[in-house]
Amino acid sequence: MATAEPSPKIAHLDRYPDVRAALLDERFVIYKPLAGSMEAHSEPDGSQRAPRSHRPAPLLHILTEHLSGTSVAEIAARAREIASGLIERGLSRGEMDLVADLACPLPLMIMQDLLGFPQIEIEKLHSLFAAITAGQEMEASDHSLHLARLAQFSIMRWIAKHMDASQSPLMTAVRRAAKESSMEQAASYWCTMLLYAGSTTTRDFIANCLARLLEHPEEATLLHNTPALLESALEELLRIEGPVRAIGRVVGEDLSIGDLQLRRGTILYLHLDKANRDPARFPDPERVDFSRRPNPHLAFGLGVTRCLGLHLAKLEARTVLTALLPHLPRMKLAAASQWGSSTILRERTCVPVRFF
């Protein structure tokens, strides 16, 4: 149900048709509390807006091209190599935490390869990512927002420092476009977002997929016995275990949508996870059906701001599932998965398993 809080400042949409309509409607401006002067502009009420027309087209064009299905397919072998190395390590120990030992390092190593940056300590980067997430939470405190900006700033500085030395095709193209259109600062902001979005969401998706299968052995057995279901299973897992719970928009003008009358400046959260479980769109929504078709889930958003990294995210999740499927029958949860407290991410923070 669509609900509004007593104050008109924050509202929520969670029915599929309303969320879908809002994603495609340019009167809802992307809410980027951390964008600062990079992409957003400040309104008289102090809020920050990032209108779609202000998006740096030359940079986005390059990112889209380098993250297309065809480009991403070229790193499939590297993803397999990293995934098997990490899994082998767990197998030889007889146990692993699927988050810390697999879901965390794989996407980060892929992103560092793509951007051509030196490996840095994963823990350090993940604590900066955690600060960024905290600053984007619904109703984040000013303190969290401040820490998030500091975290983002230190990643941007690190990126700006290494940008010139990077030999990766993606970064070479970004560097050239940034120089040609004087967008150096925007380039380091977008690379920060790429590193953050590319590492955290995929980490959570991989962890959620694996935990889901271990928590529902009948689904794991079905996938193990019928690997041809893998592609449609990935879509169903995105629908039911997609890592992005909600995304924010700023209402650009007074308007109505669903049951809501919204004033300009209201922050509107689009609950992708609830829309993906709307019984009016997905019959028997809580049932996981690896053959569900059609499956028009909104896990990657929609329209102009649809996720740029969706091919990469699917490639990484597919790679991990393919590598782990043969081991699933002898994998067991060593304890219940632990959950993070984020309001915007569906994140399991620890998924300990034993191989027997």
Characterize 36-70 residue by residue with b for buried, 16 or more Cβ atoms within 10 angstroms of its Cβ, and e for exposed.
Answer: eebbbeeeeeebbbbeeebebebbeebbeebbeee
Residues near 147 by beta carbon (within 8 Å), at least 6 away in sequence? 131, 134, 135
When the beta carbons of 51 and 217 are compared against ligand HEM, the nearer one is 51
Give 102's DSSP letter.
Answer: I
Contact status: 247 vs ligand HEM (CB under 6 A): yes
Taking the complex as a whole, the smallest distance from the CB of residue 216 to ligand HEM amounts, in Å, to 19
Amino acid identity for residue 319 in this structure? T
Residue list 66-105, contact with ligand HEM (CB under 6 A):
67
Length of the chain: 356
> Which span sits near ligand HEM by CB under 6 A: 86-94, 273-281, 304-312, 339-347?
304-312
Nearest-angstrom CA–CA distance, 345 and 71: 27
C-alpha pair distances (Å), 106 with each of 112, 132, 189, 346:
10, 20, 22, 19
From the list 38, 130, 312, 324, which residue makes contact with ligand HEM (rule: CB under 6 A)?
A: 312
C-alpha–C-alpha distance, residues 91 and 97, integer Å: 11
Contacts to ligand HEM from residues 10-39, by CB under 6 A: 30
Which distant-in-sequence residues (6+ apart) come within 8 Å of 153 by Cβ?
none
Helices (H) and strands (E) in the chain, counts: 14, 14
Q: Closer CB to ligand HEM, residue 202 or residue 337?
A: 202
Closest residue to ligand HEM, based on beta-carbon distance? 309
Beta carbon of residue 195, minimum distance to ligand HEM (angstroms, whole number):
8
Kindly identify the residues of this chain, within the stretch 170-229, that bind ligand HEM according to CB under 6 A.
Answer: 193-194, 197-198, 201-202, 205
CA distance 146 to 126: 17
CB of 241 to ligand HEM, least distance (A): 9
- Please report whether residue 320 would count as binding ligand HEM according to CB under 6 A: no
CB of 352 to ligand HEM, least distance (A): 22
Q: Which of 183, 214, 260, 308 binds ligand HEM (CB under 6 A)?
A: 308
Neighbours of 145 (CB within 10 A): 16
Q: Where do the DSSP E strands lie in the chain?
A: 3-4, 10-13, 28-30, 41-42, 48-49, 95-97, 246-251, 255-257, 260-262, 267-271, 331-333, 338-339, 348-350, 352-355
From candidates 299, 320, 321, 324, binder to ligand HEM by CB under 6 A: 299
Residue 155 binds ligand HEM (CB under 6 A): no
Residue from 56, 90, 243, 252 touching ligand HEM (CB under 6 A): that is 243
- Shortest Å distance, C-beta 225 to ligand HEM: 25
Size, binding site for ligand HEM by CB under 6 A: 22
The reply on whether position 305 binds ligand HEM by CB under 6 A is yes
Among residues 36 and 217, whose Cβ is nearest to ligand HEM? 36
| Chain residues in the site for ligand HEM (CB under 6 A) | 30, 67, 193-194, 197-198, 201-202, 205, 242-244, 247, 299-301, 305, 307-309, 312-313
